[in-house]
Structure formats: C-alpha cells, structure tokens
C-alpha cells in the first residue's frame, strides 16, 4: 500500500481536553454539536475528581462518552520519576517531549496548606547566575496542558487509592509559578493555566493563593494585570542595578527603577482591597555577595514606596555554582534589619532536602542518571561491559 494514502486517511490526533479553559471547552462542545453546559461537567470530572477516562463520567450520556473517546483524550504529562519525602514533600519529574523534563514540587506546611511549585518552561533563557535551570538554557515553552497537568498529577496523587468520588477533596491549596522557567515569557499558556487554577469548576483556588513569580519582565507585568488577578512575586535578589545586572541579567533591559514602578502599577490595579495587597520580593541569600548590612539598607530604601513583603531564600547550591549560602546567623541578622524597618520579612524553609526538592535540582540528577543508564545500555550492547555484569 502507498504510505501516503494511509497518512491521508488516518484519524486526526485527538484533542487533549486537559489543557482547555472552561470557555475553550464550551466552544469545543458547541463545535461538535453539543450543549455548552457539558464543559462544566467534564471540567469537574477532570480537575476536581482527577479522572482521565470518559467512561467514569457517570452524568454524561453513554453516547456522548463514546463520541468523546473517539475524538478527544485527557492526557497528562508522563511521570518519569516521583519521590515522596519523609517531611511530606512530594516531587515529580515529568517527561514533556523526547529529551525534555520538568519538575513539580509539593510542599506541605502547618494547617494543612499544600503549596505546589509549578514549572512554565523547559529550561530558561534568562541565565541568572545562581540558578541551575538558567544553566540548562532554554529548550521550549510548556503547553497549557503541561502546566495545568502538573496540578492534576499532584492532586491525583492523593486520589490514587480512593475509589470513592464523593470523598475526593481538592488537595492543593496554593500554587506558586516558581518552578523551572520564566512564566511571563510563556504568557499565552501560563494565563489560561492559571484561569483553570482559579476556576471554581476546576481547582477553585483564591487569587491570593495563586502566585506568579517573575524575574522582572516589566511590560508583561502590566499585561498580566490586564487579564488576570493573581498574586505577584518578584525575584529581586539585589538592591542596586550594578549587582542585579550581574545576578539577574534581564535587569540590564528592565532596571530596578522600571521594575519597582511596574510593581506599584500592578498593585494600583487592585485598589479595591484598600491597599492591603503586597508584592512578594524574593531575595536569595548568597554569602558575601548580596547579604551585607549595606544591601539590607539599600533594599529598605528601594522598597519604601512599594507595598511589599520580603522572602529571604537560602541559596540551594548545585554543582559548579559559584556561590555559597549565607550562614543562618547572618540571614537572621539581615531579616532583623528589614523587620526593624517595618517590613514583613520571612525566611523560606528548605523542605524536601532528602529528595532534592530545592529549585531545579532534581531534573539535573534524573537527567544524569538517565544519561548514565543510557551509556550503560550502549556499552552493554557493544559488549564492552559484559565482564563487569557477570
């Protein structure tokens, strides 16, 4: 048979419903001659109940279920590696293409809070000097399904042994777009994914509990405030342009003056809350680099007109990192200076150390292991290591 003929008549690829917002799914149902309200039903099954096959959707007619099974699918990213830590941290490495992996981490806290750290890109183009994701370079943007799929996978991990739909509760309470990648450089996928996080028919998280973290892509901060209302975190890491140019190179394009002005504009969009809203300022503690008393003073000055709370992040070392983490006593002293100046200043607790849950670390290790396994396989095939196996 002529293969070209086979191609022309082969069935088209199935539509992945996982990555559709409610309005996109409504359009989809209308386009296949069905009623709009099906979208709300199906979204609930997918996102609230963690279902990935149409047969389980008992309030959808059998005829529609089989029609859907022919043209659509619910396809989450493939989990290549997962690890659950003793402190409750859970971590997944997801395969998102031939040689691409991203990670997502769930961090529990007191009071039942479960925060999921979600990735937006494979690698990152911005090359911050202290970031292992930046060292990988940029590979590609994640799709809406690959982004929301991380929330889906994490949520479903709590349903796995629970057959009873009625007792399935949404497990994730908070999402931070603080995994791999720069979310504002994948705007068109990140915004719809966050819409699903906020949608009551999907994850129903409050806008305070969905946080986008950016290294400071100024025009996109403005654009964000026009389309969705979520919490904003800014990776500042340095209180003056000279140092920030070195640590966060995108600062050369969007310097501090422009960035702080963008933060103020973002907050001013949400004035109805009586000015209580704040931007979270992330500040990684690099020993001897940005952690001196002078830096704390400059930070106080820089942020005086930006309603903000500051989160100090102990630096997570990775191989070849040119930095060390500030000693605990000095982090505490830095915090004290900021608190005394009237700021809310917290120190991020490092969780999941036993499974490398700290930013960007696990993918590197899994990739190393995969490469090692591949090399091993090749050598085995070539007969090079027969003796060592015996």
Active site residue 103: yes
Residue 291 near which of ligand SAH, ligand SF4, none (CB within 5-8 Å, type-dependent) = none
Which of 259, 261, 231, 230 is closest to 244 using CA atoms? Answer: 259
CA 387/CA 390 separation, integer angstroms: 5
Q: Does 130 bind ligand SAH (CB under 6 A)?
A: yes
Q: Which is nearer to ligand SAH, 15 or 243 (CB)?
A: 243
CB of 67 to ligand SF4, least distance (A): 42
CB of 195 to ligand SF4, least distance (A): 22
| Ranges within 173-212 binding ligand SAH (CB under 6 A) | 178, 182
Q: Does 316 bind ligand SAH (CB under 6 A)?
A: yes
Q: Does 152 bind ligand SAH (CB under 6 A)?
A: no
CB of 175 to ligand SAH, least distance (A): 13
Residue 77: φ, ψ to 5°? -65, 150
Q: Which is nearer to ligand SF4, 235 or 316 (CB)?
A: 235
On whether the CB atoms of residues 77 and 87 are closer than 8 A, the answer is: no
Whose tokens are 């279920």? That residue is: 65
Residue 315 near which of ligand SF4, ligand SAH, none (CB within 5-8 Å, type-dependent) = ligand SAH
CA 175/CA 150 separation, integer angstroms: 10
Number of residues that bind ligand SAH (CB under 6 A): 17
Residue 383 Rama label (left phi>0; alpha psi -120 to 50; beta) = left
Which of 190, 159, 205, 212 is closest to 21 using CA atoms? Answer: 190
- Out of 272, 345, 359, 384, the active site residue is 359
- Out of 26, 56, 103, 258, the active site residue is 103
Residue 314 structure tokens: 């102990």
Sheet of strand 78-84: strand arrangement: 78-84, 90-95, 101-108, 114-117, 174-177, 210-214, 231-235, 279-285, 308-314, 344-347
CA contacts within 13 A on the Cβ side of 256: 21
Radius of gyration in angstroms for the set of CA atoms belonging to the chain, rounded to a whole number = 23
Q: Which is nearer to ligand SAH, 50 or 183 (CB)?
A: 183
Q: Which is nearer to ligand SF4, 235 or 311 (CB)?
A: 235
Q: Does 335 bind ligand SAH (CB under 6 A)?
A: no
Q: Which is nearer to ligand SAH, 21 or 132 (CB)?
A: 132
Site residues, ligand SAH (CB under 6 A): 128, 130-132, 178, 182, 213-215, 235, 282, 284, 313, 315-316, 359-360
Site residues, ligand SF4 (CB under 6 A): 124, 126-128, 131, 133-134, 181-182, 215, 235
Any idea which residues carry the catalytic annotation?
A: 103, 359
């Amino acid at each position: 048979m002529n293969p070209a003929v086979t191609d022309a008549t082969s069935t088209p690829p199935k539509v992945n419903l996982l990555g559709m917002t409610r309005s996109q799914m409504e359009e989809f149902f209308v386009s296949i001659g069905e009623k709009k309200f099906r979208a709300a039903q199906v979204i609930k099954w997918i996102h609230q109940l963690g279902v990935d096959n149409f047969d389980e959707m008992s309030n959808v007619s059998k005829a529609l279920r089989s029609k859907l099974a022919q043209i659509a699918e619910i396809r989450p990213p493939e989990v290549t590696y997962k690890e659950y830590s003793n402190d409750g941290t859970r971590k997944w490495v997801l395969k998102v293409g031939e040689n691409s992996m991203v990670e997502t981490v769930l961090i529990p806290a007191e009071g039942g809070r479960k925060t999921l750290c979600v990735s937006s890109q494979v690698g990152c183009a911005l090359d911050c000097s202290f970031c292992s994701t930046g060292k990988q370079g940029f590979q590609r943007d994640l799709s809406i399904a690959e982004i929301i799929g991380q929330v889906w996978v994490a949520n479903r991990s709590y349903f796995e042994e629970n057959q009873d739909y009625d007792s399935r509760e949404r497990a994730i309470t908070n999402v931070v777009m603080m995994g791999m990648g720069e979310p504002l450089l994948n705007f068109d996928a990140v915004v719809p994914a966050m819409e699903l996080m906020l949608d009551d028919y999907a994850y129903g998280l409050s806008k305070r509990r969905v946080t986008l973290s950016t290294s400071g892509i100024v025009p996109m901060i403005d654009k964000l405030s026009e389309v969705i209302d979520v919490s904003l975190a800014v990776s500042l890491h340095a209180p003056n342009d000279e140092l920030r140019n070195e640590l966060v190179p995108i600062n050369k394009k969007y310097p501090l003056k422009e960035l702080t002005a963008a933060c103020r504009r973002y907050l001013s969009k949400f004035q109805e809350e009586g000015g209580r809203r704040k931007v979270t300022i992330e500040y990684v503690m690099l020993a001897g680099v940005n952690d001196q008393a002078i830096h704390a003073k400059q930070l106080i000055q820089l942020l005086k007109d930006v309603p903000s709370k500051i989160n100090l992040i102990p630096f997570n070392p990775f191989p070849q990192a040119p930095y060390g983490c500030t000693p605990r006593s000095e982090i505490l002293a830095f915090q004290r200076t900021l608190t005394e100046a009237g700021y809310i200043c917290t120190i991020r607790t490092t969780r999941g150390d036993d499974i490398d849950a700290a930013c960007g670390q696990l993918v590197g290790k899994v990739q190393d292991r995969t490469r090692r396994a591949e090399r091993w396989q090749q050598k085995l095939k070539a007969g090079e290591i027969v003796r060592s196996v015996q």
